[in-house]
Amino acid sequence: MVDYNKGSFKKRGVDVRINDSAEIIRPHLVELGNHIAIDMCVYLSVGVKFGDYIHIAPHVCIIGGSEATLIMEDFTGIAAGSKIICAGDDYNVGILCPLVPLKYRNVINKPIIFKRFTCVGINSVVMPGVTFAEGSVLGANSLLTKDTEPWTIYVGSPAVAVKIRNSELALLGAKELGY
Cβ-contact 116, 165 below 8 angstroms: no
Residue range 74-105, pLDDT digits in tens: 999 999 999 999 999 988 999 988 899 989 99
pTM: 0.93
Cβ-contact 112, 97 below 8 angstroms: no
- How far from chain centre, in Å, is Cα 77? 7
The full set of domains in the chain, from first to last, is 4-176 (2.160.10.10)
Q: What is the pLDDT of residue 6?
A: 60
pLDDT category at 8 given cuts 50, 70, 90 is: confident
Q: What is the pLDDT of residue 166?
A: 96
Say whether pLDDT at 5 is over 70: no
Residue range 15-49, pLDDT digits in tens: 999 999 999 999 999 999 999 999 999 999 999 99
Q: What is the pLDDT of residue 102?
A: 87
| Distance set, CA 33 to CA 9, 48, 51, 76, 153 (Å) | 11, 11, 5, 12, 26
Which one-letter DSSP state was computed for residue 43?
E
DSSP 107-167: EEE--EEE-TT-EE-TT-EE-TT-EEPTT-EE-TT-EE-S---TTEEEEETTEEEEEEPP-
Instruction: Give the pairing of strands 137-138 and 54-56.
Output: unpaired
